[in-house]
A = this chain, B = another copy of it.
Amino acid sequence: MSVSVQRTRAFIAACESGDIDRICALVAPDIFYHNIPMQPVNGLAAFRAGFATFLAMSDRIVWDTPLIAEAGNGAVLTERVDTFYLKNGKTLSVRVMGTFEFDAQGLLTKWRDYFDMAEFTSQMG
């Protein structure tokens, strides 16, 4: 497994832990985070605030990642199913592909996730 794939797996595991400190320790100060159907988020402070609020809705998080591959430039492409077991008793499961890019220190600098917004919102109900 390449270093970039290892970093991506570690980042996904951190997301599944729901621990925002563990997650942010893997993220660069200049993170560019873009859920493609939404406005992008720039910088660690904004990332932390938004992502912490989102994660706090769940009791348990499972991101199944059957396919993961590193492109020539070190970017890592994933195909996933992200499942959130929400505190309100609902389960939210979204089919996603996403790209992860890291800086020389191994921190996440760019993250783009592609999914259908309606699949997300219809389950948030």
Contact = CB atoms under 8 A, between A and B. Distances in A.
Complex copy number for this chain: 2
Interface string A36-47: 110000000000
Interface in A70-92: 70-73, 75-79
B78 A67 contact: no
Interface stretch (A14-22, A49-57, A96-104): A96-104
Interface size class, chain A:
20 to 34
A12 interface: no
A36 B113 CA distance: 14
A68 interface: yes
A64 interface: no
Contacts of A99: 67, 79, 97
A116 B69 contact: no
Contact of A37 (B36, B71, B116): B116
Interface of A: 36-37, 67-73, 75-79, 95-99, 112, 114-119
